[in-house]
Amino acid sequence: MANWDDMRIFLAVARAESLSAAAPILKLDPATISRRIARLEAETGPLFLKSPQGYALTDLGTRMRDRAVEAEAALTLALDEGQAAQGLTGQIRIGAPDGCANFLLPQVVAAICAENPGLEVQILALPRVVNLSKREADLAITVSPPDAGRLTVQKMTDYRLHLAMRRDMAQPTRMAQLKGIPVVGYIPDMIFDRELDYLGDLGAGGVQRASNSVAVQLQMLRQGGVGIVHDFALPFAPELTRVLEDQVALTRSFYLVRHATDRRSDRLTRFATALVHGVRAEVQRLERASGLTDGPLQDDA
């Protein structure tokens, strides 16, 4: 008869959509996972449609996944009760755009984990919005508040962006002087959120050096060119400097998104509170380190 360990393996495969992707999450080899899934299906019926592209859920599998997710949430709440007066423990996964994941979360997560030695935090950096309904992550950071789904949304902080280029290049004093300098930015047809269409705001004619990754764009700018950069990323690239600050200045926001059913989880709520305060403080620290002198932006409480 199926037990929770079987459900745990089933959920991991359902979310990862392949044995090889589920293996590191479960810390089991794909062959073992395959045997466990086959044993479960012998009791329940076919849960997956298997193909070279991966494992897709059958109708039965979809219904079982939904029930298993509910059971998982209930189990998490039960475990939370035992942790209420203790430090945070267990595994928590955060999904975030790669700019936040690269330049903010490592420091913030390290500080939270230092205060909670039993906590394991995973950072999922994706060039798209993380799907919380499929439980790809426990929490997600976005640059636009979602307007659909059973989700709760909290504004974390504002952050600022400016044009930047190498310090050893001729510094422009007006936009027209940028003509002929390669533009670095997002691959236009891979911009997954309208708030990331920075160059659209500028009316730029095109992007000569493009990537779907903010971290890669920063490395491109270190080789030359001009592009929009997060101010909190500039301390990681001392070769770069802001240009045309009085003509180009953008403000965006980070939002913390959780599944509505997780609102009762004291553990996730405590982690979310620490994460929001940590990200807000880290943005302000790095923006000051980048040379901004007009004080922190106003954030929602």
The set of residues, in sequence order, having a beta carbon less than 8 Å from that of 269 and lying 6+ positions away, is 263
CB 239 within 8 A of CB 216: no
* 98-146 confidence digits (pLDDT tens): 999 999 999 999 999 999 999 999 999 986 777 777 778 899 999 998 8
Q: What is the CATH number of domain 88-157+253-289?
A: 3.40.190.10
Structure tokens belonging to residue 2:
């199926």
pLDDT at 195 over 90: no
10 Å CB burial of residue 67 (0-12, 13-18, 19+) is exposed
Q: Residue 301: its pLDDT value, please? A: 44
User: Whole-prediction pTM value?
Assistant: 0.73
Q: How far apart are CA 25 and CA 2, in angstroms?
A: 20
Work out the average pLDDT over 211-219. 94
Q: Which CATH architecture has domain 4-82?
A: Orthogonal Bundle (1.10)
Structure tokens belonging to residue 88:
């945070």
Assess whether the region 4-82 and the region 88-157+253-289 belong to the same CATH fold: no
Range name among 37-41, 79-83, 227-231, 287-291 with the lowest pLDDT average: 79-83
Strand partners of residue 50? 55
Three-class secondary structure of residue 146 per DSSP: coil
Choices 3.65.10.10, 3.40.50.1370, 3.40.50.620, 3.40.190.10: CATH for 159-250: 3.40.190.10
Domain ranges of the chain: 4-82, 88-157+253-289, 159-250
pLDDT at 189 over 90: no
Q: Residue 137: its pLDDT value, please? A: 86
